[in-house]
Structures are given as structure tokens and as C-alpha cells.
Amino acid sequence: MPRITSARVIVTCPGRNFVTLKIETDQGVYGVGDATLNGRELAVASYLEDHVIPCLIGRDAHRIEDIWQYLYKGAYWRRGPVTMSAIAAVDMALWDIKGKVAGLPVYQLLGGAAREGCMVYGHANGSDVEETIERAHEYLEQGYKAVRLQSGVPGLAATYGVSGERFYYEPAKGSLPEETLWSTSKYMRHVPELFERGREALGWDIHLLHDVHHRLTPIEAGRLGKDLEPYRLFWLEDATPAENQAGFRLIRQHTTTPLAVGEIFNSVWDAKQLIEEQLIDYIRATVVHAGGITHLRRIAGLADLYQVRTGCHGATDLSPVSMAAALNFGLSVPNFGIQEYMRHSAETDEVFPHAYSLSNGLMHPGDKPGLGVDIDEALAAKYAYKRAYLPVNRLEDGTMFNW
Ligand code: EZ4
Ligand code: CO
């Protein structure tokens, strides 16, 4: 049985910030876990260093469930993104260790492959509809089966999901939060046109997705979903903020456009009503922010009872360690739906060597024992942490709004 002898937090910024936990054992086997919480990274680093690591030393690394329960129940203060990202990092690292000791990739420990690979969707972003469609074509040429369309909105200087970069969308920047302005009516007029022209140009053999990023009320979301019905979206994401889960009833009454929600969820309790009332079609809770593989399996298990499928968050602020864990999870879970995949920069990929690969729109975690991902600590040490914030959003009259 491998005993935990030490653990440390590695903060690095190869183009963007990442927090990684490395757990070492007396058998020479170590594991890695992602603990990155975009814009609030150091809170999780401190939670791990100051409060979690001292409790890990000497424990049996194989007792994943017991350690999960110890950290969740033992903190007394349950849930929340900081706590659950810290627990997730420990959980990922322990699954990595178990796989390495067993000589098996983690998906084999989770029941084995339930499919050939995980369908992923890429991000097509453009300052206008034409540019977005041009980018989408590039994904089609690369064999992607699904693509998310976001474009600049006429009359708005900036909006969520659009940047100058060709394949990377990186919203966290600046030593203070950037401020953007939002108009729901301008957005609502524009999106149906994006998808009308998108279908015309891209055809019907590709899944199209869209992220509202929490910016509509339930009745506005119902209207947008209805307007988008002719274009048969794979999903409409985060149509409205989900603190009030019952709010989704109103959207459901008005549209058959499939709904996805949950990238900011950190526990099954955030999604319980959404799932049990079948108010959503895809649950986006992700391995790093929702308590690791152990807890994500529990969420997926509940979702499966109600024909809700997984659609895990996979933006660039989730490190390659999270991506590896998500693919091991996604390959094995019965109700897998789709996995978001935003490519990391070459610098990031170099710091985190990994076994996962993409072919014909499907990703596979690879067959290395454990998660199939590592961290090059010497290289990581060359990139010092840089404070970065997600933007904040206001209405045109200055009212604080959702970003
Ligand atoms: O804004 O990960 O669907 N993807 C997203 C992301 C999130 C970022 C926040 O850190 O909504 O782009
Ligand atoms: Co999103």
C-alpha cells in the first residue's frame, strides 16, 4: 500500500496561470491533480498548502473514497469552488497514483472504455459572422464533429467568447478586471442570424453549439431557444444564471432547444433539481471544480437516471491534467455526451506532457498507466505567477451585470 510522504503545490504561468498538486508516496509513485480556479488561483493554493496537505501525510493513497469524505465532511464548511477544487486536485492525484500502481490507465479502473473516443467540440470565434464561419470551416477540415459558434455583436465593443487570437480564447488578463458593456436586445437580434448563416455555410452534418454565458433571464432564454429551433443546436449553454434551478422550468416550457448548464457548479447539489426535473439535457460540471473524478461520477450517476448526458467544461483554464482526467472519465461513463476542448498553447503543452490525442473529432486519453499526464517542474519554475482577472460586465447604463 503506497503511503503519502509529501505533497506540494506548483504554481506556474506558461501563457496563463495553473495550480497543480503533486502527491508523492513511499513507493516512488507520484500523482498529479489540477487545482486551477481562474482568477482566484492562490486561494486554492493556500487552501491546499495551509490546510489540506498537513492532513494527507502518512495516509494510504489507495483509500480515495475515504480521503474524499475526510476532506469534504472533515472541513465542516462544505462545498464552494475553492474547497471543491482543492478536493478535486487531491482526488485526481490519487486516481493517478492508483492507476500507476495497477499499471492501468484510469479509465480501466472506472470500468473500461464505453466508446471508441470522446467527441469534442472546438471554439469558432470571430469579430463578425463571416469570420466565425471561416474559423468553423477550419474545424470541419480538421475532422471535428462539433463546433461552438460565438461572434461579435453589432453595436457592442466586446463580448464573451470573442478575441483576436485565432484558436485560443483567453478571457483572464490584466492586473485589474477589464470592464465590458452588454446589451441583451442587441445580442438577441444577432444570434439567430449567426446560426441561420452558419447552417447555410456549414450544412447539417456538424453539431453546432452556443454559449449564452449566463446573460439572459429565463423568459428571454425561452425566446432565444425558440428563435434558434430551426437551426437544431446541439445545445444552448448557460442560458440563464443557475443559482435558482427552478428558473429553468420557464425556459423548458418555451423551447425544445437542448440546454446545457453547470461549468461553475461544484457539487451535485447545484444540479439536483435541474437533473431530477429533467430541466437540462447536458451537465457541464467538471472534474476540477466539482470535487474530482470521485464526485463527478456521482453527478453523472444521478444524471444517467434522468437521461441527462455529460458535457464537461474544458476551457484553457482547465489544465492538461484536468483534460486527461476528463477524458479518462468521459471514455468510461455510460452517459457521456460531449467534451469541450479548447487547445492549450504550445508553452502549456510543454509544461504538461500528456498521452491524450485527437483524431477525427474524437479524443482518447491514451494508455499510459494513471491519468497519462505529467508536469515538467523545472520548466514550470521558469514561468512565474501573474495575477489575472476575468472581465466584469455592465449594462450600457452602468449597472453591474453577469459576465
Ligand atoms: O468563461 O472557462 O464554455 N466555456 C466557458 C469558458 C469560461 C472560462 C472561465 O474561466 O464559458 O470560456
Ligand atoms: Co461556458
Least confident of 91-100, 158-167, 231-240, 268-277: 158-167
**Which ligand 1 atom is the nearest neighbour of the CA of 148?**
3
Average pLDDT of the segment spanning 198-205 = 98
- pLDDT > 90? residue 166: no
Q: What is the reported pLDDT for 237? A: 98
Average pLDDT of the segment spanning 327-354 = 98
The answer to whether the CB of 41 is under 6 A from ligand 1 is no
At residue 163 the predicted structure's pLDDT band, cuts being 50, 70 and 90, is confident
The answer to whether the CB of 315 is under 6 A from ligand 1 is yes
SS (H, E, C) the chain: CCEEEEEEEEEECCCCCEEEEEEEECCCCEEEEECCCCCCHHHHHHHHHHHHHHHHCCCECCCHHHHHHHHHHHCCCCCCHHHHHHHHHHHHHHHHHHHHHHCCEHHHHCCCCCCCCEEEEEEEEECCHHHHHHHHHHHHHCCCCEEEEEECCCCCCCCCCCCCCCCCCCCCECCCCCEEEECHHHHHHHHHHHHHHHHHHHCCCCEEEEECCCCCCHHHHHHHHHHHHHHCCCEEECCCCCCCCCHHHHHHHHCCCCEEECCCCCCHHHCHHHHHCCCCCEECCCCCCCCHHHHHHHHHHHHHHCCCEEEECCCCCCCHHHHHHHHHHHHHCCCEEEEECCCCCHHHHHHCCECCEEECCEEECCCCCECCECCCHHHHCCCCCCCCECCEEEECCCCEECC
The answer to whether the CB of 109 is under 6 A from ligand 1 is no
pLDDT, one tens digit per residue, over 183-192 is 999 999 999 9
Q: What percent of the chain has pLDDT above 90?
A: 95
The answer to whether the CB of 317 is under 6 A from ligand 1 is yes
The answer to whether the CB of 213 is under 6 A from ligand 1 is yes
Residue of 263, 288, 343 to mutate, ligand 1, most atoms within 8 A of C-beta: 263
Catalytic residues: 160, 213
**Which ligand 1 atom is the nearest neighbour of the CA of 318?**
2
Q: What is the reported pLDDT for 186? A: 97
Q: What is the mean pLDDT of the chain?
A: 97
**Which ligand 1 atom is the nearest neighbour of the CA of 169?**
12
Give the largest Cα separation in the chain, rounded.
Answer: 62
Q: What residues flank ion ligand 2 with Cβ within 5 A?
A: 211, 263
Q: What is the reported pLDDT for 159? A: 87
Which residue's CA is minimally distant from atom 8 of ligand 1?
315
Q: What is the reported pLDDT for 167? A: 63
CA of 282 to the centre of ligand 2 (A): 12
**Which ligand 1 atom is the nearest neighbour of the CA of 38?**
10
Going along the chain from its start, the domains and CATH numbers come out as 4-105 (3.30.390.10), 109-368 (3.20.20.120)
Average pLDDT of the segment spanning 117-125 = 98
Q: What is the reported pLDDT for 175? A: 86
Q: What is the reported pLDDT for 158? A: 85
Nearest to 22 by CA among 321, 325, 385: 321
- pLDDT > 90? residue 356: yes
At residue 161 the predicted structure's pLDDT band, cuts being 50, 70 and 90, is confident
Average pLDDT of the segment spanning 220-224 = 98
At residue 363 the predicted structure's pLDDT band, cuts being 50, 70 and 90, is very high
Q: What is the reported pLDDT for 210? A: 98
Q: Is the pTM of this model over 0.75?
A: yes
